[in-house]
Structure formats: C-alpha cells, structure tokens
Amino acid sequence: MSAAPDDGSEPRPRLAVVLGLLGGINPLAVDAYLPTLPTIAAEFGTDLQRVSMSLSTYFLGFALGMLLGAPISDRSGRRPTALAGLLLYIFASLLIALTTNIEQFLALRVLQALGAGAATVNVGAVVRDLYDERNSARMFSMIMMVVLGAPLIAPAIGSVMLAFFNWQAVFIFLTIYGAMTTGLVLRFFPETVTQKEPLGPVALLRDLGGSLVNVLGRPSAVAIALSGSLASSCLFIFITDSPFLYIDYFGMSTVLFPVVFGLNVVTLAGFHWLNLRLLKRYPPRAIMPFGFALLMTTTVVTAIYTAVADPRLGVMVPAIMLTIGVQGLIQGNATAAYMAHFRRRTGIAAAISSSLQFSMGAVAGISLNVFHDGTPRTMTTALVVSATLAMVFGTIGLRLRARAEAKDLAIASAPAKP
C-alpha cells in the first residue's frame, strides 16, 4: 500500500532532481542516437526509414515495461522495481553496442525500453504518493525542468560520439549514465510503499485487470489521459521525423542538427517555467484549455503553410519550437489531473496513462513512416490530427470532471434526512 498524499507539503527540489535524472534515461535513449541514424543505416545496409522504426519499437517496449513494472512497484516497492529496471536498461544498452545487424538492433531496443519503462514508472507513482493535485503538477513541472536537460544535450552527445568515435559509443554512454543513475537511486530514492504485498503472476494480472477496470470506470480520467497522450504524440511525431526533416529534406549537417533540435527543448523548458508560475495562481485544469488551444492553432497554421508554400527552414524551425514548447502547459497538468482520480495502486494508474502515451506515440511514428510522401506535409498533417483530437478529449474530460465534482458537492452539502 502506498503512502497517502501529503497535501500540505511543498515539492522538494532535491527529490525533483533525483526523479528528473531517473526520468532522463528515456529521452537520452531516444534522442542521443538520432544524429547517428544515417550512419547506422549505412553500416547495417538498410534505409533510414527502417532504422527509424527503432523509435517506434522503443516506444512500444517502454509502454510494456511500464505496464509490467507498475504492479510490481505497487506491491514490492518503488525502489527495488526502479533498480531492477535500471539494471535491465544497462544490460541492453551495452549489448546494443555489440550488435551486427538491424534485427538485433531492433530487438535489443525493445529490451532496453522494457527496463526504462519499469524504472521510470516509479517517478509518477512517487509524486502521486506524496503530493496532492496542485503540488503534483508543480512537482511534475520541476521534474520536467530536469528531464529536459537530457533531450537538450542528447543530440549533441550523439554528434560528438559520432565525430570522435562511432555510433556504438552513444550506447556505451547510455550504459554509464544508467549506472550513475542507479547509484543515485540507491542513495536518495524514497520508498513510498508502506505495506508490501505478495507478488505472483495471478496477483499481477489481477492488479492490472482491476486497475484497468477502475480507470475505464472513470470517463473523465480516460478522456484526460487520452488528451495528454494525443498532445504528446506531437512530440513523438517530431522526434521520429526530425532526422528526415532537418538532415534529409533541408540538408542540415549532423553538427548543426543537435543545435536546432535543442532549440525545441529550450522552448519546452520555458513553457514549463511559465507553467510553474501560473500554478501559483491557477489550478492545473484551468491552464490546460489554453495549452490545447495554442497547440491547435500552431499546428493548423504550420500545416496550411506546408500545403500552400515551399517550406523554408527559417519558418519551420520556430513553428515546430512553438508546437513542442506548448507541451509544457499540457503534460504536467494533464498528468496531475489524471492521477488525482486515484489514491491506491498509483503505480499502475501512472503506467496505464504513460503506456497509452507511448503506445500512441509508437502508432503515430509507424503511421508517419507508412504514409510518408517525402515532404514535411506528412508530419504537419499528423500534428494537426493529434492536436485536434487532444483538444476534443481534453474538453470532454475537464467538463466530465467538473460535472462529477459539482454533483459530489451537491450531495455533500445536502441536508441530512431526518
């Protein structure tokens, strides 16, 4: 059983740093090797789109890792589950550096993602264990300020490794980072599961099934989870297509690529900073609609531009920066609003939401590769579809939540019958 949320406590910066560094293993695994994709494709004798599939397989493996790790975390504890996931991540990262063909590469990326998912699912669970909805949103934004350091430097790391060593050096770096994170988890990661429970295959399946039924029985939670997942699909779409867009289509060098890629991360960090300021005055659910509206606007304008004009790098870069940056007004708030529905089995609740997010990201990435026409139009069309659906489900979810709370308030304030 996990600890009840501590409604009166303020988010702790040191804990945010530790959780952020743990959460950083995922964006590092995704972004650090992006500049090396053309080199990997050439070495394995395949095309760039085939190697880019390793992003989608990673997202699927990460979602599965969260779903498997969550019930173990809820029953056996946050710390041991995080440590086990990290060890699997380290092992797979090291093996990837020894691969000799694309099939091995894709399979080991799934194994690496399984470990990352099992480890990082504990981040959201610990936050929900310790904080109420508003402080959870603040904590998630603080964590993201740390996590965003990973995608900011990751492409640069990949470019440097490629320039001075080879693509395998990227995965050696990920192995070292995983080992360092393991040390921090051993030293500083809190255990918030106060009562351990027996774990077995039957209990694992029962917990997953029961929690899934619990989530599906809360329409507002489902809608909010879908809205956050669809909004984050914009990020996955860009990550999947960024090597093509910048390196292939615009002819950008692998040296300049991490700089331009990093501009999106800086913008995202800026919006998370803005979100922290706004949360001092407004609840998370009051900020989300503005984020959805801004996301919808920027994706539609960008799609129209690529449809009627010959896209220019100087226009596409700031347009994508805004599309990615506005996630800072959505993701932390959507996660907090979703997790506020649950007090028990918070690990599984977090895993269901996150696995949905990464599964949809994988589907978006696969669909992008299948329907790609060799122009930026494919990406911008996919962004509009994701943003539109995110806004629709977000509006539905927030209205359902407000209606349910008004009903509960009316019942609580009704005079007792004699």
User: Which residues of the chain carry a pLDDT beneath 50?
Assistant: 4-5, 7-8
pLDDT of residue 8: 47
Whole-model pTM: value is: 0.69
Specify whether the CB–CB gap between 386 and 292 falls below 8 A: no
pLDDT digits (tens, 9 = 90+) for 75-123: 778 888 889 999 999 999 999 988 888 888 888 998 999 999 889 888 8
Q: Is 113 helix (H, G, I), strand (E, B) or coil?
A: helix
For the chain, domains (ranges, CATH) are 13-189+207-409 (1.20.1250.20)
Instruction: Identify the pLDDT of residue 345.
Output: 60
pLDDT of residue 281: 85
3-state secondary structure of 393: helix
C-alpha 210/C-alpha 225 separation (Å) is 18
- Closest by Cα among 236, 201, 176 to 379: 236
Give the whole-angstrom CA distance, residue 56 versus residue 361: 7
User: pLDDT by residue (tens digit) across 337-363?
Assistant: 887 777 666 667 777 777 777 777 777
pLDDT at site 101: 84
Q: What is the pLDDT of residue 370?
A: 76
> Helix, strand or coil for residue 41?
helix
